[in-house]
Chain A
Amino acid sequence: AQSVTQLGSHVSVSEGALVLLRCNYSSSVPPYLFWYVQYPNQGLQLLLKYTTGATLVKGINGFEAEFKKSETSFHLTKPSAHMSDAAEYFCAVSAWGSQGNLIFGKGTKLSVKP
């Protein structure tokens, strides 16, 4: 079985500051990991994903995440926050044999201050 824990339900940063959103996962088999972003009144959009291969994955809008198996983590970062990054961010995990059941974390709301 898989599970996801997102540390911090709300993160606030200043415009131009580093964004760090934390995600830890639990999986009995090699995981597939995803970050999604949800803007107000919209559905979720894929930011990036890790399946196999390079552990540092780059996504849209300047975001990237690093898969660290030893730490069971998949933290999301962006060097410089922009006002338009304010949204809800969800980490998710799935795995081979899971029949496509994507398990989501509880989300982290990112606020960006001018």
Chain B
Amino acid sequence: DTAVSQTPKYLVTQMGNDKSIKCEQNLGHDTMYWYKQDSKKFLKIMFSYNNKELIINETVPNRFSPKSPDKAHLNLHINSLELGDSAVYFCASSSGPAGRFNSPLHFGNGTRLTVT
């Protein structure tokens, strides 16, 4: 009964490939996020969706495209993978409407992406 689940846990691929990471939450939250954690453990938000609507889109290459088929799912598709994309990607969710953020994030266990 994992609250926020991501698949796959590990993803090893070659440069130039296209890959997807899936995320699902069963908490009934309205808002979902993608964060990137680099090798120095620095966490940076990439995208946020509220009720399937994109509300945060940080400076991220166009090769990254989030898709939210419903409010319980937020997938991340990455085209033409580059070496610098290697990182751990975390999905998260929270309750509460956009603009009133005092709700904590619930994180998945991460997807470690390695691009060779």
Contact surface of A with B, Cβ cutoff 8 Å: 32, 34, 36, 38, 41-46, 49, 51, 88, 90, 94-102, 104, 106-107, 109
Contact = CB atoms under 8 A, between A and B. Distances in A.
Interface string B65-100: 000000000000000000000000010101010111
A106 B48 contact: no
B56 interface: yes
6 contacts: A36-B105, A36-B107, A41-B110, A42-B110, A100-B99, A107-B43
Question: How many B residues are at the interface, by size bracket?
Answer: 20 to 34
Contacts, number: 75
Contact of B41 (A49, A94, A96, A107): A107
B90 A96 contact: no
Contacts of A42: 109-110
Interface string B102-115: 10111111100000
B51 to A, nearest CB: 12
B41 A101 contact: no
Contacts of A38: 41
